[in-house]
C-alpha cells in the first residue's frame, strides 16, 4: 500500500498517531466531533522518513548521537546543532515538495501556522509540550517548505532527545509529521485546562487569556488573565487580571513581533463573560469527546473561537 504524504485534517483520528503525530490526530478528532478548528492539512511521518532517507540523514544522526549520550544534554546540545544544519541544508524530495505545494495551493495559499506533530507526543503519559517547533504567520510556498524542514529538525533538539530518553522511547522509532493550518489572526488567545491544575478539582476549568496570538502565554512571556469557571453552569467563579504586558501580532511579510500594550489598558479583561462561556463550552465538548481532562489551546477573532490543540492533561 502506498503511504500518503499529505492528509487533510478531517481525515484523521486518534488511530492515525503513527502517521500523523499526536497534534494532527487530535485536531482530526476535534473536527470529527464537530468542534471548530482552522482548516489545514498534515504532512505525514512517511514524508519525513522519505526526506531523511533521500538526504542520508539517518546515518548522520546515528553517527552524531553516538558522540554524546542523551543523558548529557549540555554535551548533546553541541552535537545536535550539526543535525539541525544538515536538516536545513538537505533538499526535500520532489514528490514531497510537490505534494505540499498542491495541498497549500488548494487551501488558497494563505498565511499559515506550521506546527510540529511528533508521533510520540500528546500521549496520556507524556505531552511533549514545548519540545518541538511551531511557526506562526508563514507566507508563500518557499516559506512553508523551509519551516516544514525546521519542524522536522526540531525532532532532534537536545531537549527532545533527552525527554524521549527519559521516557524510554526508542530514538529510531521517532518521526515527525507537520500540521499546516490557516493562521487565525487572534484578537484574544490562550490556554484552557478542563480540570483545575492547581487543586485537581474536576468541577472547575481554568482559562488563561491574553490579547493577540497565544504564543506569549505558551512561552511564559506574559502574565495572562486567569478565569476559574464552574463546569456545571459555565459561570465564572473567580477572575484574576494579569498585566498582559505585551501582545504578539503577525507582521507584514511573515513572522510575528511583540507589541507593548499601553500601561493604562493592561488591566482590561481579555475575555468578557460571553466569551468565557464560549471558550469553556468548547473545552468541555473536547473533554467529553476524549473522555478525560484536556489541556487546550484556543484563539478568538471576530467574536468566534476555535481550538488549535487539545492534549490530555498529564499532571495535576
Give the model confidence (pLDDT) of 100-147 as tens digits.
999 999 999 999 999 999 987 544 444 444 557 899 999 999 999 999
Which superfamily, per CATH, for 6-182? ATP-grasp fold, A domain (3.30.1490.20)
pLDDT of residue 60: 80
Q: What is the pLDDT of residues 50-68, one digit of tens each?
A: 999 999 998 888 877 777 6
Give me the chain's average pLDDT, please: 90
Residue 174 has pLDDT above 60, yes or no: yes
Share of the chain above pLDDT 90, in %: 70
CB atoms < 10 A from the CB of 11, how many? 16
Report the alpha-carbon distance of residue 295 to residue 308 in Å, rounded: 11
pLDDT of 11 > 70? The answer is yes
Beta strands in the chain (DSSP E): 6-8, 40-43, 112-118, 134-138, 176-182, 188-193, 204-211, 225-230, 236-240, 246-250, 256-260, 294-301, 304-312
Domain ranges in the chain with CATH number 3.30.1490.20? 6-182
* Contact call for residues 178 and 116 (beta carbons, < 8 A): yes
The answer as to CATH 3.30.470.20 being correct for domain 188-312 is: yes
Predicted pLDDT at 126? 45
Supply the pLDDT for residue 218. 81
175-213 tens-digit pLDDT? 999 999 999 999 999 999 999 999 999 999 999 999 999
Condensed to tens digits (0 to 9), the pLDDT of residues 74-93 reads 777 777 788 888 889 999 99
Q: For the residues 237-255, what does the mean pLDDT come to?
A: 93
Every domain range in the chain assigned CATH 3.30.470.20? 188-312
Amino acid at each position: 500500500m502506498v503511504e500518503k504524504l499529505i492528509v487533510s485534517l478531517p481525515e484523521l483520528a486518534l488511530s492515525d498517531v503513527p502517521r500523523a503525530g499526536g497534534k494532527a490526530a487530535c485536531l482530526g478528532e476535534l473536527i470529527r466531533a464537530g468542534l471548530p478548528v482552522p482548516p489545514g492539512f498534515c504532512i505525514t511521518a512517511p514524508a519525513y522518513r522519505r526526506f531523511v532517507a533521500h538526504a542520508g540523514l539517518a546515518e548522520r544522526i546515528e553517527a552524531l548521537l553516538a558522540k554524546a549520550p542523551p543523558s548529557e544534554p549540555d554535551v548533546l546540545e553541541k552535537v545536535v546543532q550539526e543535525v539541525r544544519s544538515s536538516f536545513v541544508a538537505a533538499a526535500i524530495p520532489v514528490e514531497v515538495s510537490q505534494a505540499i505545494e498542491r495541498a497549500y495551493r488548494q487551501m488558497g495559499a494563505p498565511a499559515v501556522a506550521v506546527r510540529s506533530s511528533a508521533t510520540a507526543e500528546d500521549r496520556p503519559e507524556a505531552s511533549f509540550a514545548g519540545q518541538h517547533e511551531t511557526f506562526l504567520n508563514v507566507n508563500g510556498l518557499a516559506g512553508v517548505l523551509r519551516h516544514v524542514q525546521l519542524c522536522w529538525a526540531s525532532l532532534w533538539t537536545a531537549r527532545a532527545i533527552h525527554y524521549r530518553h527519559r521516557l524510554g522511547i526508542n530514538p529510531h522509532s521517532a518521526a515527525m509529521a507537520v500540521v499546516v493550518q490557516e493562521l487565525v489572526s487572534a484578537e484574544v488567545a490562550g490556554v484552557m485546562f478542563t480540570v483545575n491544575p492547581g487543586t485537581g478539582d474536576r468541577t472547575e476549568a481554568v482559562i488563561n487569556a491574553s490579547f493577540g496570538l497565544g504564543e506569549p502565554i505558551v512561552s511564559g512571556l506574559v502574565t495572562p488573565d486567569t478565569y476559574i469557571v464552574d463546569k456545571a453552569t459555565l459561570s465564572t467563579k473567580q477572575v484574576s487580571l494579569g498585566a498582559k504586558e505585551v501582545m504578539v501580532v503577525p507582521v507584514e511579510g511573515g513572522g510575528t513581533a511583540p507589541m507593548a500594550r499601553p500601561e493604562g489598558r493592561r488591566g482590561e479583561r481579555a475575555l468578557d463573560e460571553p466569551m468565557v462561556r464560549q471558550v469553556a463550552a468548547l473545552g468541555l465538548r473536547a473533554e467529553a469527546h476524549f473522555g478525560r481532562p484536556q489541556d487546550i489551546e484556543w484563539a478568538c477573532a471576530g467574536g468566534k473561537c476555535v481550538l488549535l490543540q487539545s492534549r490530555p492533561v498529564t499532571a495535576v
